[in-house]
């Protein structure tokens, strides 16, 4: 019973902290969109997840290594997504079109990385 309550509190704390970051970025975005973009993609979100993974896995080195390897492979697709989004917005395309371009572009960008990850 106490363990279940502690687990629920951990989840609630994660949600609150994550929401604070997202709400802060969107609030800043109203006045300083570039700053909000920087906050949205900066390592803060990765660091939050890194802490959660570390705590949930008791700092297991293999888990942490696998997490950081996955994060490294996610950098290229993220760069490609924001590059495509930038070009789309520059051409005044609506947000739904920008978001639709993401899945196919991400799959194409991830595909080579998946096979290469197995060799590392």
Domains in the chain: boundaries: 13-56, 61-120
Beta strands in 3-77 (DSSP E): none
Q: Report the distance separating Cα 64 and Cα 82, nearest Å.
A: 26
93: DSSP letter: -
Question: Residue 116 — very low, low, confident or very high, per pLDDT cuts 50/70/90?
Answer: very low
- Based on its alpha-carbon atoms, the radius of gyration of the chain, rounded to whole angstroms, reads 18
Average pLDDT over residues 7-31: 86
65 is written with which tokens?
């290594």
Residue 65 has a pLDDT of: 93
The pTM of the full predicted model, rounded to 2 decimals, is: 0.59
Q: Report the distance separating Cα 36 and Cα 22, nearest Å.
A: 9
Nearest partner of 91 among 106, 101, 76, 77, judged by Cα: 101
Which is higher by pLDDT, 87 or 42? 87
């Amino acid at each position: 019973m106490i363990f279940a309550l502690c687990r629920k509190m951990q989840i609630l704390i994660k949600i609150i902290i994550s929401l604070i970051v997202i709400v802060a970025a969107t609030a800043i975005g109203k006045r300083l969109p570039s700053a909000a973009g920087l906050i949205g993609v900066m390592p803060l979100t990765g660091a939050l997840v890194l802490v959660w993974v570390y705590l949930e896995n008791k700092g297991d080195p293999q888990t942490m290594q696998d997490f950081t390897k996955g994060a490294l492979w996610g950098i290229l697709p993220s760069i490609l997504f924001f590059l495509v989004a930038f070009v789309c917005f520059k051409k005044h395309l609506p947000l739904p079109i920008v978001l639709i371009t993401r899945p196919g572009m991400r799959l194409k960008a991830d595909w080579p990385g998946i096979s290469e990850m197995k060799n590392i």
